[in-house]
Structure 1
Amino acid sequence: MLTLSQKDSASTQDVGSSCQDGLEAECPRKPDLKQSKIYGVGDPTTILSSESSCLSSRGRVVKWFWDSAEEGYRTFHMDEYDEDRNPSGIINLGTSENKLCFDLLSWRLSQSDMLRIEPSLLQYPDWKGHLFLREEVAKFLSFYCKSPAPLKPENVVVLNGCASLFSALATVLCEAGDALLIPTPYYGAITQHVCLYGNVRLVSVYLDSEVTGQDTRPFQLTVEKLEMALQGANSEGVKVRGLILINPQNPLGDIYSPRELQEFLGFAKRHELHVIMDEVYMLSVFEDSIKYHSVLSLEGLPDPQRTHVMWATSKDFGMSGMRFGTLYTENQHVATAVASLCRYHSLSGLVQYQMAQLLQDYDWINHVYLPANHARLKAAHTYVSEELRVLGIPFLSRGAGFFIWIDLRKYLRKSTYEEEMLLWRRFLDNKVLLSFGKAFECKEPGWFRVIFSDKVHRLRLGMQRIRQVLEGKSQDAPPCQPQQLSD
């Protein structure tokens, strides 16, 4: 990720028994954050070098992301695990994909109603997307987001995935060099999405694992923290144009309550900031006791002209390869500007037709797909959670998304990102790919994201390889006294 204004190390101390709300297991170590900055401003120019002189400065930034940010993913694809052909290959517990429902999806996508070819599907569409698809998206979001009033097709724009949506929105909402606020840790690829095309920076709102009272939770976002980060960026002459919120949050799994959403949207309205809401995991809440609220379910948005909602089938339907994403915005200037960029990011007419057929099949979605998907996600999450408890690894457990945010700080000799990277490479050398905390701009070195949305034989082997690394590392690690934290 881009170099940010933060220190690589901090002093540590034991967390008291007040830790709660899903941070489980033993002895997490907490940096003393009182004197550290609450924000960091990304600066793409810090990663430029004299190499690749045939490229423009923009081209060198693009190449740097490829060379460094995707290292683990490329390594995995060169040595991918296969039960029969490559059983010693790399198990990928780092890429957030749902691999649990291929049987259901392959059946549905192979039905006769999915197979249609007509002239309009082979020709240039309206760049917002075919009207028949935008109508189905509006109905789908109205139903599953529980909007107070029916959503309108004219407010829908269809692109090939949320990566394109982030790029397009950053480009049309910000000037080059402007910035967007984003709470950390966050899905790190967003840095690339907003930077590579639009040359837009991110101002990280640093959250930490400290729990200060009964009503607080680890990595909790508050309006106060947003205000402090915005003021800090402004003091450095950085123009902040908007706020990015991910709900459910990646990698934490947090779900914002309606009250929190209203507070964050109210903050944005006071400062005339756009809000980009990423709700790509909204149907992947698998714990029955957890209630998810889309921003589109709120009675009266504080600033509807500056609120832009993203969703895609990549996560909730395990179809990241189909590249379908959609934007809902009541701001027609934004919708038109994003649609103009769709000539570079559109879907084929055949895929648009398939997506419309899928999204209108509420009977299959509600009675076949979602119940099975939630049950399988919950079972996989339970298995990995129990394995982590046996290993004595603290983690955040939220009941949404495909990931568990685990605390491996006690396995670092020093609280630095260099030590975090060394541990990550030990996992990769032992043929298991995880995602390290710096990739999410986590301010505390030693946190990792583990993906559990995979078949049990791969999860079992992946957890065995994680155990091997940690057992080997723990022989040299500083001692840590066990301490159980409440759920």
Structure 2
Amino acid sequence: MGRVRVGRVTFDPERIVMAGGATGANEQIIFCLADHGDAFLVPSPYYPAFDRDLGWRTGVEIVPVHCDSSTKFRITRAALEEAYEKARQSNINIKGLLITNPSNPLGISLDRDTLKSLVNFINEKNIHLVCDEIYAATLFCSPKFISIAEVIQEMDCDRDLIHIVYSLSKDMGLPGLRVGIVYSYNDAVVSCGRKMSSFGLVSSQTQFLLASMLSDDEFVEKFLAECSKRLVKRYHVFTKRHEQVGISCLKGNAGLFFWMDLRHLLQQQTFEAEMKLWRTIVNDVKLNVSPGSSFHCQEPGWFRVCFANIDDGTVDIALKRIEAFVPQSKVANTATKKN
């Protein structure tokens, strides 16, 4: 964690609580902070499995903070206040705000001003802030990643309210080893998390292997640099060829995916039309993309595209299929609207 944020922030090993991947870490921190029936604000669009991870066993609810394309899906203070007040009016007890930085599915990292705004918000409301930073080193272009750990060094805030979730599944490509952590500035949370960690232990063998690997500074540095190099190359291949057929995407800088805008291919601006388009893409075009509604996006027509887990030959086939499909879809839409 310190290597990713080199020169800007240091971490205390005594504040780390291990867990079975980021999934286990997110559930663990929710168990520590909230009771059954409490709720967390989560900016949308958000990772669909949060509904499972944060709520299935804890009984905690998710209250979406709706972000839209007019602000390039950035989290605004107005959206936070609106979601918070609506929850309070419905007698929902908000215990905290959970964010992903960089974002899945948007593929963007949060800027310093936004992070400071979030810290001010949770400080004023006296609620917790959980930052899922599992894509912290999976960056491929500017702006650089800014951790919440860096931001709170510059602010006067209650650090007992700040918690970080991290894992090695994305940055080091090790999802199957199930290594996640909660890093909390709150002593009571660290103590509680340690007691709960018996239900999601990381094996001694796994810890020994990772300690050896992560101690090799030269390897880790080269690995992260090579990943970034390959990601930016693949990202530009996808987005440039999408632009050539009239498909725009949210400008991204992180993650293994990008946020694709197909609103102009919808027959109507509805989620029913989005699902119809998605089924066509999956069943007829034979491309596996995810509809925005599955991420609780409030605007139909957005899709997440994962671009990092396929070889170059498959990439070329996928792009040729989308290039053939888009003109046909535009013609069909024009004909439907005329009728």
TM range, smaller chain: over 0.9
Partners of 2:261 and 2:304 in 1: how far apart? 9
Structure 1 residues 448 and 399, CA gap change in structure 2 (3 angstroms)? same
If each structure's helix is expressed as a fraction of its own residues, which one has the higher value? Answer: 2
Structure 1 vs Structure 2 CA RMSD:
1.7
Structure with the larger RCO, 1 or 2 (CA within 8 Å, 6+ apart)? 1
Deviates more, 1:194-203 or 1:460-469: 460-469
CA distance in 2, matches of 1:458, 1:338: 43
User: How far did 1:442 drift?
Assistant: 0.5
* 1:157/1:338 contact within 8 Å kept: yes
Equivalent position of 2:146 in the other structure = 293
Q: Partner of 1:365 in structure 2?
A: 220
Q: Secondary structure at the match of 2:69?
A: coil
What's the CA shift for 1:149? 6.0
Q: 1:77-110: CA deviations, max 9, x gaps?
A: xxxxxxxxxxxxxxxxxxxxxxxxxxxxxxxxxx
Greater displacement, 357-366 / 381-390: 357-366
Cα-to-partner distance string for 1:112-132 (whole Å, 9 max, x where unaligned): xxxxxxxxxxxxxxxxxxxxx
Amino acid at match of 2:314: R
Aligned equivalent of 1:167 = 27
CA distance in 1, matches of 2:68, 2:334: 22
1:428 lines up with 2:282 in the alignment: yes
> SS at 2:11's partner residue?
coil
Aligned twin of 1:414: 268
Compared CA separation, residues 254 and 150, structure 1 to 2 (3 A): closer
CA contact (8 A) 2:239 2:248 kept: no
Which residue, out of 284, 302, 305, partners 1:447? 302
Q: Secondary structure at the match of 1:281?
A: coil
Look up the match of 2:167.
312
Pairing 1:74-473 to 2, within 5 Å after superposition = 141-146=1-6, 150-210=10-70, 217-287=71-141, 289-298=142-151, 299-300=153-154, 302-366=157-221, 368-429=222-283, 430-454=285-309, 455-473=311-329
- Output one character per residue of 1:177-218: Cα deviation in whole Å (capped at 9) or x when no partner: 2110011111111111111111111111111112xxxxxx41
Q: TM-score, normalised by structure 1?
A: 0.65
- Alignment partners' CA distance in 2, 1:444 and 1:177: 28
* 8 Å CA contact 1:434, 1:449 repeated in 2: yes
Distance 1:182 1:448 in 2: 19
Tell me the alpha carbon deviations over residues 289-332 of structure 1, each in whole angstroms, 9 at most, x when there is no partner: 42221111231552211111011111111221221111111212
Give the unaligned 5+ runs of structure 2. Answer: none
Shift of the alpha carbon at 1:420? 1.2
Query: Aligned with 2:305: secondary structure?
Result: strand
* Corresponding residue SS for 1:404: strand
Which amino acid counterpart does residue 276 of structure 1 have in structure 2? V
Instruction: Give, as a single letter, the amino acid of the residue that structure 2 aligns with 1:348.
Output: S
User: Which amino acid letter does the alignment assign opposite residue 313 of structure 1?
Assistant: L
Please tell me the residue identity of whatever aligns with 1:209: S
Give unpaired runs (5+ residues) of structure 1.
Answer: 1-140, 211-216, 480-487
Whichever residue aligns with residue 92 of structure 2, its letter is V
Structure whose alpha-carbon radius of gyration is higher: 1
Say whether the 8 Å CA contact 2:21–2:179 is kept in structure 1.
Answer: yes
- Structure 2 Cα separation of the partners of residues 209 and 358 of structure 1: 41
SS in structure 2 of the partner of residue 427 of structure 1: helix
* 1:142–1:470 Cα change, 3 Å: same
The DSSP-based 3-state class of the residue aligned with 1:406 is strand
**Residue 437 (structure 1) shift:** 0.2
Contact 2:45 2:105 in 1 (8 A): yes
Say which SS state the counterpart of residue 327 (structure 1) adopts.
strand
Q: Where do 4+ consecutive residues of structure 1 move more than 6 Å?
A: none
Q: Which amino acid aligns with 1:458?
A: T
Which segment is superposed worse, 174-183 or 333-342?
Answer: 333-342
Q: Which moved more, 1:393-402 or 1:441-450?
A: 393-402
Alignment partner of 2:47: what SS? coil
Paired amino acid for 1:470: V
